Amino acid sequence: MTAAGLRVAGPDAQRQLASLPLAILLLAPDLTIAGANPAAEQFFGQSLRRLSGRRLTDVLTFGEARLAERIGDGETPVSARDIDVVVPGRGARQLDLTATPIVDEPGWRVLSLHDTTIEAMGEDAGGADNTILRAPEILAHEIRNPLAGIRGAAQLLARKAGEADRVLTGLIADEVDRIAKLIDQMQTLGRRTIAPVEPCNLHEAARRAVAVMDAAGGAEPPIGEEFDPSLPPVLGSPDGLVQVVINLLANARDACRAVAGPRIVIRTRFASGLRLHSPRAGKPVRLPVELRVSDNGPGIDPAMREHIFEPFVTTKKTGQGLGLALVRKLVRDMNGRISHERDDERGWTHFRVYLPLAAEADARRGRGGGEA
């Protein structure tokens, strides 16, 4: 018996569209949105009901104005890569875009959007950060010994000094501790070894970080939680995840400290369609889980936003510029990625951490795939 002439039953078109990781929009001749799949709803952060009837240019601001005009020509296919857009409420993104006319339906077209923002945050091209930060790892031992001697001498002097001079010896000890802490951070950034990863409960790590923050500096402003209880375990380092969230929450508290009615929110959700091309994993890795830390502070200086994850870049008067660089390293060691967005319209700053699922890593190992 041959298969010739037989039609194999399968999922209908609606189910197929719903399963695609790409954001898909159905556009009417006047560029209003007539349909959207679940990935598009997640990309825009809006339901189909809210998207329907809105013009494409209301939900996407193109960096190149002529591109919108080309999409408006319903008879010509359009394909563009690495285009810059702004999504209201979600900030700047980088996309691959394809607009395809629908056969026998003049003016109608299907628009596919592939968010390449995560791919843009791929592996470091030349390992420049690690090269810069190798010296502290090599010299740390030699530096620590004299530091310990200076601290010990300060403590001995404090025993014999008067009350006024103890202030100075205390200052010496505090500065030694500060330098030692800085060396620890530099060593972590320059370290080539990667902490082992395992299945982690993201919400347990987040709540532990919140508890540490509350214990260290009080519960003001309170940290709101918007957790998706259906999230499965992610692949990561439990301690690394806690440290990442602590650093992001600490920055959020500093950012909104002087704001009337300060607010911080930590949120988790699925973010389907995000993939990372990782040479270390040997194949594309999906990053379907998003952890977001948001604050309603004034935001980062626009001139600094493209450099905030680089070592020694800071907008704080007393900062060393290592906190976000360390966060990025920890997230990348877990095969994840982190991004920063500023929503000036609503007055919020968002840091988004994208992580792989533990179950998918297990499945790859079961098929003989590489470790993620």
Q: Does domain 13-115 have CATH number 3.40.50.300?
A: no
State yes or no: pLDDT of 368 exceeds 80.
Answer: no
Q: How far does Cα 10 stand from its chain's mean position? A: 37
Q: Does domain 198-366 have CATH number 3.40.50.300?
A: no
CA distance 372 to 355: 11
- Six-digit token pair at 270? 């699925």
Give pLDDT, residue 124: 45
- Six-digit token pair at 142? 């030699």
State how far the alpha carbon of 78 is from the alpha carbons of 60, 82, 115, 173, 347, in Å. Answer: 16, 13, 17, 64, 34
8 A C-beta contact, residue 115 and residue 43: yes
Give pLDDT, residue 354: 92
Give pLDDT, residue 219: 64
pLDDT greater at residue 143 or residue 122:
143
State how far the alpha carbon of 245 is from the alpha carbons of 202, 267, 326, in Å. Answer: 10, 11, 12
pLDDT 10s digits, 108-120? 998 888 877 654 4
Give pLDDT, residue 1: 45
8 A C-beta contact, residue 279 and residue 123: yes
pLDDT greater at residue 143 or residue 191:
143
State yes or no: pLDDT of 38 exceeds 90.
Answer: no
Residues listed for the chain:
372
State yes or no: pLDDT of 8 exceeds 50.
Answer: no
How is the chain split into domains, by residue range? Answer: 13-115, 128-190, 198-366
For the residues of 218-269, what is the DSSP string, one character each?
A: -S-S-EEEE--TT---EEE-HHHHHHHHHHHHHHHHHHHTTSSS--EEEEEE
Q: Model pTM greater than 0.75?
A: no
Write the Ramachandran bin of 218: left for phi over 0, alpha for psi from -120 to 50, otherwise beta. Answer: left
β partners of residue 277:
284
CA distance 219 to 316: 22
Give pLDDT, residue 131: 47
**Strands, DSSP E only, in the chain?**
23-27, 33-36, 61-62, 78-87, 91-101, 109-115, 198-200, 223-226, 234-236, 264-270, 275-278, 283-286, 289-295, 337-343, 348-355
State how far the alpha carbon of 152 is from the alpha carbons of 91, 148, 165, 309, in Å. Answer: 51, 6, 16, 36
Quickly state the pLDDT bin for 345 (edges 50, 70, 90). Answer: confident
| Phi/psi of residue 30, nearest 5 degrees | -90, 15
State yes or no: pLDDT of 279 exceeds 70.
Answer: no
CA distance 56 to 77: 16
State how far the alpha carbon of 150 is from the alpha carbons of 143, 161, 170, 269, in Å. Answer: 11, 16, 12, 49
Quickly state the pLDDT bin for 204 (edges 50, 70, 90). Answer: very high
β partners of residue 84:
94
CA distance 86 to 73: 22
pLDDT greater at residue 297 or residue 114:
297
β partners of residue 110:
26, 100
Give pLDDT, residue 361: 58
Fold category of 128-190 in CATH: Helix Hairpins (1.10.287)
Quickly state the pLDDT bin for 79 (edges 50, 70, 90). Answer: confident
Give pLDDT, residue 176: 76
CA distance 69 to 239: 49
Give pLDDT, residue 178: 67
8 A C-beta contact, residue 294 and residue 90: no
Quickly state the pLDDT bin for 295 (edges 50, 70, 90). Answer: very high
Contacts of 107 (CB under 8 A, 6+ apart): 28, 29, 74, 75
CA distance 61 to 303: 21
Mean pLDDT within 259-280: 80
CA distance 56 to 161: 73
State yes or no: pLDDT of 281 exceeds 70.
Answer: no
Quickly state the pLDDT bin for 125 (edges 50, 70, 90). Answer: very low
pLDDT greater at residue 168 or residue 244:
244
Mean pLDDT is lowest, of 127-141, 191-205, 284-298, for 127-141
CA distance 33 to 51: 7
Per-chain mean pLDDT for the chain: 77
Give pLDDT, residue 189: 58
Quickly state the pLDDT bin for 32 (edges 50, 70, 90). Answer: very high
CA distance 181 to 175: 10
Quickly state the pLDDT bin for 280 (edges 50, 70, 90). Answer: low
Give pLDDT, residue 248: 94
State yes or no: pLDDT of 317 exceeds 70.
Answer: no
Instruction: Determine the residue type at 192.
Output: R
